[in-house]
Structure 1
Amino acid sequence: MTTYSILAPMAPYRPEQLLPYAALTQWTDAHRLWQGQALLNDPFQDFTHAAACGFRVPTGTGVTLMPLRHPHQAAIQAHSLAVASGHPVVAGYGPGAASFQASLLGTPYRSQLGAIREYVAVMRGLLENGEVDHVGEYFTCRAELAAVPRPPVEIGLGVLRPRMARLAGEIADVAITWLTPAGYVHDVVVPALRAGAEAAGRPMPRVAVMVPLALAAPDRNPVELVTMSNTGHTMLPHYADMLRRSGIETSTQDPRGNAEALLAGGAFLYGGPVELAPRLREYADAGADEIVLNVTGVHMKYGERASLTELEALLGAVAR
């Protein structure tokens, strides 16, 4: 059964800004509260703050950037959040853009997939076995993590393109997509995940799709909402390549044209509740296990009250 979750539509600079979205998750049928990477506040600390305030809900990071923390620290943070919240955690990671890697590490990872494989190996050893003895090209870790009772921690990987999807099929618990049209999930992501899982002799990871969307209204300009929400992504080479594979052409010189292309290609959904509900179900039909509602554009344009109202309306529409 496909579940519906919500993404906090901003990177909070004070942890209490997350509380209304944690409350919405707790009081509705939303399955999980997600955060993307933040470079001012740490999402694991934000979620722990929400739990300490009484809003204990399942959480997910989609995705935290690997260069910011060693996998030993990543395992400790995910473990600590599960203990503090009393709920399952999806600890999602990705390498980030090569330029971001170089800005923190001096040079990008020589092999993106090789670095990810080592990162997950260290985390899984600590979280599942309580110890790890790993000496690799990218990470070294000889350490233990005491086994104490806690809810499950799933290791997620950000997935955009086929090679990453195949690797996620081999080693991840959850494959997390962002801005991927339903047809691309069905035709590219899921087959590659399945192939990787079969090669490794393990179950296919769950698929969590982050879907940017907005409800139609007479005073709204959908192109403006898409531009505010997703221009940064369309300027990154790995996103542009994924979109091109899905049939959506973008340019670093034309943000408005990119927004129009995302709308036309189904990477950003816009319409009334009656129209959006079946379009979201297309993701379930494509193989998504968890659909994450992303109203960042609405929040950036109209603020917190509008984004909370929007999420509540969307959750009601998909529950019918």
Structure 2
Amino acid sequence: MTDYSVLIPCVPRRLEQALPFAGLVQWTGAVRLWQGQSMLLEPHQTFTGLAGAGFRVPTGFGVTLMPLRHPYEAAMQARSVAMATGEPVIAGFGPGGQAFQANLMGAPYAKPLQAAREYVTAVRRLLDGEVVESTGPHYPFLGQLTPAAAPRVDVGLGVLRPGMARLAGEVADVVITWLTPPGYLQDVILPAVAEGAARAGRTSLPRVVAMVPAGLEKEGREGADPERLALAGNAGHMQAPHYLDMLGRAGVDTGSGQLADVARGVVETGAFAGGDLAQTIKALRAYEEAGVDEIVLNTTAVNKLFGSREALSDLSSILRAVTAS
């Protein structure tokens, strides 16, 4: 059975902006509260603050960007959230775009897959209590976390293309995708994950989490057609080279250079779950049928265009529908 979770659909500037979404997880069938990378209120602090406000729920980071923190700091921060909330954590990581890497480190990773392998392996071993002596070129260090009892922290890897999917199959606990059509997940990403797992001799596959942008068309809400919502919530991703490459592989026409064409392709390939409630649920079921273990509902576009109350309304409607059927 596929789990459903909730993404905080904004970049919070104040803790109270995230509180209603934590409450939604605490009081509904949603299994986890997620946040992507934030350059304002830092995600680890957001979740710790929510726990202090009484909302102690399982959490996920999908994904935080490797250039921002050393693997030791990453492991310590993720475990700190697990200790503060008393709930399990999925700590997802990704290298980010090349321009972001260059801005923070002076140059992009020469070998992003190698860097991700070093990073995820080191974080996993640190969380397992091991003394880690990493000799790789990107993150050489010697260290061990101070022993402490804490809920489980799973280590995830952000995946868009087959190379990273194979790596995730080898070293990650969780595969995390964003804006990936269900057909592409089923036909390209999941076989690559299985290939990586087999290569590493793993007896079980990583869990697969899909971040799915969603939003409802309904009476009284003008301008909520799926293409407009897809663009409003994902314009930045639709212009990033690594996302355009992934979408092109998935059958989206990215050659015109027009964002409207990309948004249309995102809707047509099912990477955006929109329309009325029945159409939205049908689009989400395609991810279940593709083999996704956890679907994270991303109502960023609704929040941006119509406000947090409308985003909460959509999330509530969708969660009721998927748990009732």
Shift of 1:71: 0.5
Paired residues, number: 320
Aligned residue in 2 for 1:26: 26
SS in 1 for 2:210: strand
1:206 equivalent to 2:204? Answer: no
SS in 1 for 2:13: coil
Contact 2:8 2:18 in 1 (8 A): yes
CA distance in structure 2 between the partners assigned to 1:120 and 1:273 by the alignment: 38
Matched, 1:174 2:178: no
For the structure 1 residues 144 and 237, does the alpha-carbon distance in structure 2 shift closer, same or farther, using more than 3 Å as the test?
same
Contact 2:226 2:275 in 1 (8 A): no
Query: Deviations 1:108-165 (Å, cap 9, x if unpaired)?
Result: 0000000001101211121013321112200022111122211100000000000100
Q: Which residue of 2 aligns with 1:67?
A: 67
Q: How does 1:195-234 map to 2 (within 5 A)?
A: 195-202=195-202, 203-218=204-219, 219=222, 220-234=224-238
Matches within 5 A, 1:267-306: 267-306=271-310
- The answer (yes or no) to whether the contact 1:209–1:288 under 8 Å persists in 2 is yes
Read off the aligned partner of 2:261 and give its amino acid letter. G
Task: Give, as a single letter, the amino acid of the residue that structure 2 aligns with 1:312.
Answer: S
Distance in 2 separating the partners of 1:65 and 1:235 = 18
| RMSD between aligned residues | 1.2
CA contact (8 A) 1:234 1:252 kept: no
Is the 8 Å Cα contact of residues 93 and 156 (structure 1) preserved in structure 2? yes
Q: Aligned match of 2:311 in 307, 311, 315? A: 307
Greater Cα shift, 127-136 or 105-114:
127-136
TM-score norm. by structure 2 comes to 0.96
When structure 1 is superposed on structure 2, of 102-111 and 218-227 the one drifting more is 218-227
Give 5+ residue unaligned stretches, structure 2.
none
Distance across 1 between alignment mates of 2:181 and 2:268: 11
- Hey, what's the Cα distance between the residues in 2 that align with 1:131 and 1:249? 48
Contact 1:235 1:251 in 2 (8 A): no
- 1:299 maps to amino acid: N
Alignment of 1:116-135 (within 5 A): 116-135=116-135
Please give the TM-score of this superposition, normalised by the length of structure 1.
Answer: 0.97
Mapping of 1:1-320 within 5 angstroms? 1-202=1-202, 203-218=204-219, 219=222, 220-250=224-254, 253-320=257-324
CA positional deviation for 1:69: 0.4
> What is the letter of the counterpart of residue 62 of structure 2?
G
